[in-house]
Amino acid sequence: MSILNATPSGFHSAVDSLNKIPIEIVSEMVSIGAGCYVEDYVEKFAQLGVDHSFDIIEDALQNVINVLLYIFRVALKSKAEPQILAKSLRADTQMSVPHIQTLYAAYDKFFNENSQDLNDASTSAFKNESILPRVTDVSWKLAVCIASDACEDLSSGKVTLCFKLDNHKQQTLELTCEEFKNLHSQFQEMASLINTLQ
């Protein structure tokens, strides 16, 4: 049974780019999963002295991250055993053997730790295809610096946002008022785009 016989456009070119990435970085990427960002890896490539024939451009790196997420999502959605995933990668892609072994090891660990959840259709982590945590609550606070070495202007405001996630964790951001206004305008732009799609 092959789970990767119908792949989206750009899949195979992303796999070609993936083959050029050092195994230790791919291993780190798959361990991070959905929280993997392009910006985190551009500097790592420079530090490792990755061959410049592989242009370290953000689009190629984003495609690699997307292909890794796609492979894991397809495997999770089809509830594929780790051996099935490895066979599909060998048969349907040009992925190198060391890269297949890295993906197999990460998926095998995840599959074994979550096999009960994979069989339970009501499990919230697998209701959607995404493995990203969902925001359950947002709280915010506006503060003004009174006395601090870090404040250039003692009356400069800071906005603290706290995102509570469905995995019982929280993410906190501290922004200047200007950064918050910029974030707000980006959210407004996203909302207007979403409204055109509905």
pLDDT at 129 over 70: no
Q: What is the pLDDT of residues 8-28, one digit of tens each?
A: 888 888 999 889 888 888 888
Nearest-angstrom CA–CA distance, 173 and 186:
16
Mean pLDDT, to the nearest integer, of 94-122? 80
| Helix, strand and coil percent figures for the chain, each rounded to 5 | 55, 15, 30
Domain ranges across the chain = 11-126, 135-197
The residue with tokens 């780019």 is: 17
Q: What is the pLDDT of residues 72-100, one digit of tens each?
A: 888 888 888 999 999 999 988 999 999 99
Residue type, 156: S
The dihedrals phi and psi of 29, each to the nearest 5 degrees, come to -60, -45
Q: How confident is the model at residue 147 (pLDDT cuts 50, 70, 90)?
A: low
Is the overall model pTM greater than 0.85, yes or no? Answer: no
Residue type, 50: V
- Give pLDDT, residue 173: 85
Residue 166: Cβ within 10 Å count: 13
